[in-house]
């Protein structure tokens, strides 16, 4: 036992750090730069919406760093802010690193001042020191440490400067007893604090926090401190003292809101600190900052929205045009690869499994990697430049008409990448009604996994020059349908008053290539990994279901017929016939035939129906299923097969439109449904979503099919 | 009585009073919009539905409905 204790310094040297700060100050990026984590970083408020722990070793210490959602103040405003507050108040950790934005110290210190009364050890990280330098802002960190009696360290998460000093400081503070931070209030408040402290002293009140902090928390009407003291015998005497104190302070601040009074107290304390420690070298000219200059173009009342639409259009154009080049190579590669591998396999069934199943199915999904990469780059740019909040600003008025909150834009845009993080990011919406409403329409924003289906169909039915426009139109239509759905839901299920819209607009930042690279790379790898695992598995399953059971009698019949055929043409025709007959009597064919009546009014044949059903698992499976089904059933004569050609040959335009409409509207995927259920807060919401999206998809597809037919296509 | 929504683009004003309800008031305060704070109006979205203002060094977006509740001079 004893030896064990000696050998195990893990427990002895473990430091658990909570990273706290206002939104968008670089908390997540700071963790990335001290460890080799790749937490999501973006230039808008509300990137991190859940707590994440990162572990790393430094010297002989084991660190656990907890990344928390940014919070402006301890007000429980949104769910993500509640996550932070609950963590800080209820969890066990050793030390707080309060990350602040050096270029906006005064505002950031509002939260710092609130943290002072938490009775935890603390270090202040003056982040963005590189930006501060550029803007000519100089902070005297030593003097600031002295004034606050809290160590302050200049760091830059982006340039990785000061990181080591920061960690050393954390270790130092951890080893020493907790210093009492200096926070000075105005005279009336100090008087009242003194009053309460001496009362607590007189009664020898037992507490872990200092009397001063308890007094401040009581005056601020902190719920937890109230609850703690409420059951104590001294409460009956304390309460009148508190009431008097509040009156005194409120009178001094000429308000009836004690929180407002304290905010003003903090603000004037912070002003004092900033005046002492911050020197602005370049005198602030009256000239506009770069951000303001860019804003005067990008959020121009007239051109703002057209510019945004143009950028979106450009993105989809690029997705198609630029993506087409490597796609041809990938397509050719898989064609060649399938033939090459096929030639080495003698067993017919095995060859079919590998060539028609795995290679055709997985290849069909991997084929679209270039498109996905371009889409991800677009989203990463939107997130990291600061443009995201601008678009939320531009669209708020428009969104408002449909009963949505401007900030819904952020989860909705995230939804173009993948629905799962989008559901999570809806937490930035304060009001539960707004949040639920947003959750319900996120699936209308076509996720990255649906892009392959669109690219496939757009490529199959339109010439290359306009396919990009078609893609853009599909996305816009999807988004518009989402807005209309929002309006319907707002008028029926989620009636209620509108929530205020108050949002920070970050400054524009040039994203680093490295950051974009990492974001896009990790998402792309995830896509490929999914193609290689989940999709491959699903594809094999589909292949199996579409090949078995074998009908030997049917095969024999045809073999005889083919023998007797006169021309090669006739032989091919018979072989094709056999293939499609075989497919029809397979397990999958039977499933398809069973559900076909449901899909026939939409103009969909059983293969498309099966692809849609398989797509409930994941949208990539739609493409891989089509890949398998059309690889098996048709054109055995064709040497290099192309799914695109198979589709344009076998599917009518009207049916294709109906198919795309369903893809646009129905449930995203199994994994997303699980996250949706968790975020919405109950399985019943999942059934609502299922019913809502399925019915909408069906009705719209029906209309789309018949209208397209009427138009004569 | 002048409200923030009545301000012209580029105008600099000082907050006199927040007439918002409890939640919104806390939110505004945590953004630095409180009594005596300096505010400058930066941009208007179409038809003044949403405005962008600057408080200290921070830019925030507000809806007209919220800007109506902020009394300035
Ligand atoms: N120039 C510069 N930019 C930085 C620095 N640290 C972070 N950033 C940028 O600031 C933005 C916000 O970074 P995040 O790490 O996402 O901020 P956060 O505090 O985790 O934000 P939330 O999760 O929303 O609370 C990103 O655009 C970063 O690239 C820094 O030291 N210097
Ligand atoms: Mg973060």
User: pLDDT tens digits for A168-192?
Assistant: 999 999 999 988 888 889 988 999 9
Mutational test site, ligand 1, from A19, A40, A41, max ligand atoms within 8 Å of CB? A41
Residue A158's SS3 state is coil
Q: Which run of H or E residues covers position A504?
A: strand A502-505
pLDDT at A286: 58
Q: Give the position of tokens 């006739």.
A: A570
Residues of chain A positioned with their CB less than 8 A from the CB of B59? 291, 295, 504-505, 507
- What's the predicted TM-score (pTM) here? 0.85
Q: In b/e form, how buried is each residue of A315-353, taking b as 16+ CB within 10 angstroms?
A: bbebbbeebbeebeeebeebbeebeeeeeeeeeeeebbb
pLDDT surpassing 80 at residue A287? no
Q: A235, A222, A204, A246: which is closest to A116 by C-alpha?
A: A222
Query: Are B34 and A267 a contacting pair at CB < 8 A?
Result: yes
Q: What is the pLDDT of residue A320?
A: 81
CA distance B65 to chain A (A): 8
Of the pLDDT bands very low, low, confident and very high (cuts 50, 70, 90), residue A683 is very high
CATH number for B28: 2.30.30.90
Strand partners, B59: A505, B54
Does A392 contact B at CB distance below 8 Å? yes
Beta strands in A199-328 (DSSP E): 278-280
pLDDT at A557: 85
Q: Is A497 on the interface with B (CB under 8 A)?
A: no
Question: Could you give the dihedral angle defined by the CA atoms of residues A355, A360, A362 and A366, in that order, rounded to the nearest 10 degrees?
Answer: 130
Segment A130-159 shows an average pLDDT of: 94
Beta bridge partners of A16: A64
Question: Among candidates A256, A238, A240, A261, which has minimal Cα distance to A188?
Answer: A261
Q: What is the ipTM of this complex?
A: 0.93
* Percentage above 90 pLDDT, chain A: 37
Bridging pattern class, strands B38-44 and B58-63: unpaired
pLDDT digits 0-9 by tens, A90-120: 889 999 999 999 999 999 999 999 898 888 8
A25 CA distance to ligand 1 centroid (A)?
Answer: 5
Q: If you average pLDDT over residues A282-293, what whole number do you get? A: 72
Question: Between helices A258-277 and A235-253, what is the axis angle to 10°?
Answer: 60
pLDDT per position as a tens digit, B42-61: 888 777 888 999 998 889 99
- The reply to whether omega before A549 is within 30° of 0 (cis) is yes
pLDDT beyond 90 at A272: yes
Angle at CA of residue A471, ends A470 and A477, nearest 5°? 85
Nearest chain B CA: its distance from A293 CA (Å): 10
Encoding tokens for residue A89?
């108040």
pLDDT of residue A11: 55
Q: What pLDDT, in 10s, does the model give residues A471-512?
A: 899 999 999 999 999 999 989 888 877 778 889 999 999 988
pLDDT (0 to 100) of residue A553: 83
Choose the CATH number for A14-175 among 1.20.1250.20, 3.30.70.2190, 3.40.50.300, 3.40.30.10: 3.40.50.300
- How far apart (Å, rounded) are the C-alpha atoms in residues A84 and A70? 8
> A540, A579, A323, A259: which is closest to A451 by C-alpha?
A323
pLDDT tens, residue by residue, A626-655: 888 887 654 444 444 578 888 888 899 999
Give the count of domains, chain B: 1
pLDDT at A13: 84
Show the ligand 1 pocket: residues with CB < 6 angstroms.
A 21, 23-29, 41-43, 45-48, 69-70, 127-128, 130-131, 156-158, 384, 509
Higher local confidence (pLDDT), A575 or A690: A690
> Which residue in the block uniquely carries the two structure tokens 């009394």?
B71
Task: Count Cα atoms within 13 angstroms, Cβ side, for A265.
Answer: 25
pLDDT of A395 reads 87
A8 pLDDT more than 70: no
Which of chain A's residues have a Cβ under 8 Å away from the Cβ of B20? 500
What is the number of CB-based contacts under 8 A between chain A and chain B?
Answer: 121
Helix (H) and strand (E) counts for chain B? 2, 6
Q: How confident is the model at residue A1 (pLDDT cuts 50, 70, 90)?
A: very low
Instruction: With a cut of 60, say whether residue B20 has pLDDT above it.
Output: yes
Nearest CB partner across the interface for A393, out of B20, B36, B45: B45
The set of residues, in sequence order, having a beta carbon less than 8 Å from that of A372 and lying 6+ positions away, is A448, A451, A452, A523, A524, A527
Would you state the pLDDT for residue A554? 83
- Put simply, the answer to whether A502 touches B47 (Cβ < 8 Å) is no
Q: In this predicted structure, what is the pLDDT of residue A603? A: 92
CA dihedral A248, A254, A257, A262 (to 10 degrees): -70
For the stretch B28-65, what's the b/e string if a residue is b when 16 or more beta carbons lie within 10 angstroms of its beta carbon?
bbbbbbbbebebbbbbbbeeebbbbbbbbbbbbbbbbb
Q: How far is the CA of A399 from the centre of ligand 1 (A)?
A: 28
Give contacts of B32 with chain A, Cβ < 8 Å.
106-107, 110, 267
What is the pLDDT at residue A357? 83
Ligand located closest to A428 CA? 1
- pLDDT above 90: residue A599: yes
Q: What average pLDDT does the structure give for chain A?
A: 87
pLDDT tier, A207 (very low <50, low <70, confident <90, very high otherwise): confident
| CB spacing of A406 vs B52 below 8 angstroms | no
Whether residue A411 contacts residue A422, with contact meaning beta carbons closer than 8 Å, is answered with yes
Residue A2's pLDDT is 42
Instruction: For residue B37, give its domain range.
Output: 2-72
Asked if A301 and B46 touch (Cβ cutoff 8 Å), the reply is yes
Q: Put the strands of the sheet holding B2-3 in their side by side order.
A: A502-505, B58-63, B50-55, B38-44, B12-18, B70-72, B2-3
User: Which pLDDT belongs to residue A4?
Assistant: 41
Q: What is the pLDDT of residues A333-357, one digit of tens each?
A: 988 888 898 888 888 888 888 888 8
Mean pLDDT score, A514-528: 89
Q: Residue A640's pLDDT is what? A: 45
Question: Comparing A283-287, A326-330, A413-417, which segment has the lowest mean pLDDT?
Answer: A283-287
In this prediction, residues A270-291 reach a mean pLDDT of 81
Judging contacts by C-beta atoms under 8 Å, the chain A residues touching residue B29 are 73, 259-260, 263
**Residue pointed to by tokens 């998402």:** A523
Are A686 and A677 in contact by the 8 Å Cβ rule? The answer is yes
pLDDT over 70, % of chain A? 96
The pLDDT of residue A284: 55
Q: Distance between CA atoms of A429 and A440, rounded to whole angstroms?
A: 14
């Amino acid at each position: 036992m004893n030896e064990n204790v000696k050998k195990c310094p893990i427990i002895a040297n473990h430091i658990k750090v909570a990273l706290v700060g206002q939104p968008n100050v670089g908390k997540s990026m700071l963790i990335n730069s001290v460890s080799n984590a790749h937490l999501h970083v973006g230039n808008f408020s509300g990137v991190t919406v859940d707590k994440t722990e990162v572990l790393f070793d430094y010297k002989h210490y084991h660190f656990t760093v907890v990344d928390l959602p940014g919070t402006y103040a301890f007000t429980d405003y949104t769910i993500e802010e509640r996550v932070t507050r609950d963590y800080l108040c209820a969890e066990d950790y050793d030390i707080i690193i309060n990350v602040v934005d050096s270029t906006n110290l005064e505002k950031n210190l509002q939260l710092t001042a609130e943290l002072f009364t938490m009775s935890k050890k603390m270090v202040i990280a003056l982040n963005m020191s590189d930006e501060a330098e550029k803007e000519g802002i100089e902070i005297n960190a030593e003097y600031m440490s002295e004034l606050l009696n809290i160590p302050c360290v200049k760091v830059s998460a982006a340039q990785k400067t000061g990181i080591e000093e920061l960690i050393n400081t954390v270790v130092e503070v951890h080893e020493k007893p907790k210093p009492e931070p200096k926070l000075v209030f105005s005279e009336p408040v100090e008087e009242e604090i003194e009053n309460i402290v001496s009362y607590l002293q007189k009664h020898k009140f037992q507490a872990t926090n200092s009397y001063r902090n308890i007094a401040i928390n009581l005056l601020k009407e902190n719920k937890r401190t109230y609850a703690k003291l409420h059951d104590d015998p001294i409460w009956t005497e304390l309460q009148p003292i508190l009431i008097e104190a509040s009156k005194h302070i409120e009178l001094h601040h000429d308000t009836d809101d004690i929180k407002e009074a304290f905010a003003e107290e903090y603000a004037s304390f912070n002003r004092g600190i900033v005046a002492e420690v911050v020197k602005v070298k370049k005198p602030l000219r009256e000239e506009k900052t770069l951000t303001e200059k860019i804003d005067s173009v990008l959020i121009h009342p007239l051109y703002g929205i057209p510019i945004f639409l143009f950028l979106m259009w450009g993105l989809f154009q690029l997705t198609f045009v630029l993506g087409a080049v490597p796609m041809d190579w990938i397509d050719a590669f898989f064609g060649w690869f399938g033939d090459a591998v096929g030639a080495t396999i003698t067993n017919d069934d095995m060859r079919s499994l590998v060539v028609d199943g795995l290679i055709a199915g997985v290849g069909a999904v991997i084929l679209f990697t270039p498109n996905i990469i371009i889409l991800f780059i677009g989203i990463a740019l939107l997130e990291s430049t600061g443009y995201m909040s601008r678009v939320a600003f531009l669209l708020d008025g428009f969104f408002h008409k449909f009963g949505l909150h401007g900030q819904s834009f952020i989860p909705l845009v995230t939804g173009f990448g993948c629905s799962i993080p989008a559901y999570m990011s809806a937490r930035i919406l304060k009001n539960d009604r707004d949040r639920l409403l947003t959750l319900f329409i996120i699936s209308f924003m076509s996720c990255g996994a649906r892009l392959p289906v669109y690219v496939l169909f757009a490529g199959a039915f339109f010439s290359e020059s306009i396919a990009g426009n078609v893609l853009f139109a599909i996305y816009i239509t999807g988004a518009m349908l989402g807005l209309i759905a929002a309006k319907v839901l707002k008028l029926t299920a989620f009636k209620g008053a509108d929530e205020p819209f108050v949002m920070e607009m970050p400054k524009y930042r040039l994203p680093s290539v490295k950051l974009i690279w990492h974001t896009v790379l990790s998402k792309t790898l995830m896509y490929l990994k999914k193609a290689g695992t989940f999709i491959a598995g699903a594809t094999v399953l589909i292949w199996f279901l579409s090949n078995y059971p074998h009908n030997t009698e049917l095969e024999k019949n045809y073999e005889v017929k083919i023998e007797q055929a006169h021309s090669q043409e006739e032989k091919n025709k018979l072989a094709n016939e056999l293939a499609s007959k075989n497919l029809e009597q397979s397990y999958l064919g039977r499933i398809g035939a069973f559900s076909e009546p449901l899909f026939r009014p939409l103009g969909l044949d059983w293969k498309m129906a099966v692809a849609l059903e398989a797509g409930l698992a994941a949208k990539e499976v739609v493409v891989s299923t089509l890949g398998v089904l059309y690889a098996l059933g048709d054109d055995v004569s064709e040497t290099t097969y192309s799914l695109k050609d198979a589709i344009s040959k076998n599917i009518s335009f009207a049916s294709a439109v109906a198919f795309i409409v369903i893809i646009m509207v129905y449930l995203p995927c199994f994994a997303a449904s699980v996250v949706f259920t968790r975020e919405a807060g109950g399985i019943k919401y999942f059934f609502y979503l299922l019913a809502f999206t399925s019915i909408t998809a069906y009705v719209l597809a029906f209309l789309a099919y018949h209208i397209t037919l009427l138009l004569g296509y | 009585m002048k409200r923030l929504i009545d301000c012209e683009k580029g105008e600099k004003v000082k907050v006199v009073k927040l007439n918002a309800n409890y939640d919104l008031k806390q939110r505004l305060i945590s953004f630095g919009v409180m009594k005596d704070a300096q505010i400058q109006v930066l941009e208007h979205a179409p038809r003044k539905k949403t405005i962008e203002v600057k408080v200290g060094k921070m830019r925030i977006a507000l809806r007209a409905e919220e800007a109506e509740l902020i009394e300035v001079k």
